[in-house]
Structure 1
Amino acid sequence: MRPISLSQIPEITLKYRPKVRASERLTLRDSKDVYALLRKKWDSNLIELQEQFKIVLLNSSAQLIGIADLSSGGTTGTIADPKIIFATALKAGAFAIILAHNHPSGNLVASDEDIRSTKKIKDGAQLLDLFVYDHIIVTKEGYLSLADEGMM
């Protein structure tokens, strides 16, 4: 084996620097609060054009840590990669997450794939002691909460 230089060893670091003090964080009480927050964050020029996937990150008091934009797709789909979802949640030190994506068509019906991917992510999150509180489907005119509808 040849000698290894320290410059050849990749360093992996984990950092999180919140911009808001804990006492000033927004508390999300229900799906209406989450939808209102997401509509403020969503690019109104894309909501009816391109499907996007985001996660809302929460601490153990249901206070907002942040929103992460995870993927952008086409007019009828985008990728919800569990590895990226979990890496983001763990890096932020999240206690819980809320999944969110838009339906550019304006359709407020969860597809079979929406339900399948939610279950897959929720099952994986349990292994990490991470809670998935909801999956919100966002449109310009309203939303569907899978938790409110008993679909989680």
Structure 2
Amino acid sequence: MENIKDQSKKLEVAEIQLSYKSNVKASDRPKISGSRDAKNVLMNSWDLSRIELLEQFKVLFTNRANQVLGILELSTGGMYATVVDPKLVFVAALKAGASGIILSHNHPSGNVMPSQADIDLTKKIKDGAKLLEIQLLDHIIITNEKYYSFGDEGLI
């Protein structure tokens, strides 16, 4: 008798929805053909009053034609570091239907050389992206004056 009562109870579960809506026409999306293009698009999204103060991590998403689908500001940290959860990178990439991703963060110190933590994170995200058939196109470290491209340096 108790089993019948248990089966008649309605189960409450959360509904999961996947959606992506762009307010930019496909023909107006910037196209990325190299690290300089990516750096320019990213710098346009950066708050330059904070670039030498706080470390931020952003992800640029592209479609198969390397047109920009959008940019996600994933995290903001302190002067020396910010926390990046790879799962959030992939959640956003899948939600946007991205074929490619470009990782980016700034170094408030002005030094563009990647740390070992930067290299390790890049490898971890590259490995995860491969499983999802998403291409890690680059990881760019930005400062006010210059940038460093993992792709240009053969580290992708």
Which residue is equivalent to 1:59? 63
With over 3 angstroms needed to count, the CA separation of the structure-2 counterparts of 1:3 and 1:74, relative to structure 1, is: farther
Identity of aligned residues (%): 49
RMSD: 1.2
Residues 86-118 of structure 1, C-alpha deviations (whole Å, 9 max, x = no match)? 000000000000000000000011111111110
Distance 2:36 2:56 in 1: 19
Q: Secondary structure at the match of 1:133?
A: strand
* 2:140 pairs with 1:129: no
Q: Which runs of 5+ in 1 are unaligned?
A: none
Aligned residues: 151
- The TM-score normalised by the length of structure 2 is 0.93
Q: Secondary structure at the match of 1:11?
A: coil
- The TM-score normalised by the length of structure 1 is 0.95
With over 3 angstroms needed to count, the CA separation of the structure-2 counterparts of 1:4 and 1:105, relative to structure 1, is: farther
Offset of residue 40 of structure 1: 1.2
Distance 1:86 1:92 in 2: 10
Which residue is equivalent to 1:84? 88
Q: Which runs of 5+ in 2 are unaligned?
A: 1-5
1:42-53 aligned at under 5 Å gives the runs 42-53=46-57
Which residue is equivalent to 2:3? none
Distance 1:139 1:105 in 2: 8
Which residue is equivalent to 1:11? 15
Distance 1:3 1:112 in 2: 56
Offset of residue 4 of structure 1: 3.6
Which residue is equivalent to 1:114? 118
Which of 100, 106, 113 does residue 102 from structure 1 map onto? 106
Distance 1:85 1:118 in 2: 12
* 2:32 pairs with 1:28: yes
Distance 1:139 1:3 in 2: 61
What one-letter code is carried by the residue in structure 1 that aligns with 2:106? N
With over 3 angstroms needed to count, the CA separation of the structure-2 counterparts of 1:29 and 1:5, relative to structure 1, is: same
Q: Secondary structure at the match of 2:105?
A: strand
Q: Post-superposition, which runs of at least 4 consecutive aligned residues in structure 1 deviate over 4 A?
A: none
Distance 1:17 1:109 in 2: 36
Residues 107-136 of structure 1, C-alpha deviations (whole Å, 9 max, x = no match)? 011111111110010001100001000000
What one-letter code is carried by the residue in structure 2 that aligns with 1:71? S
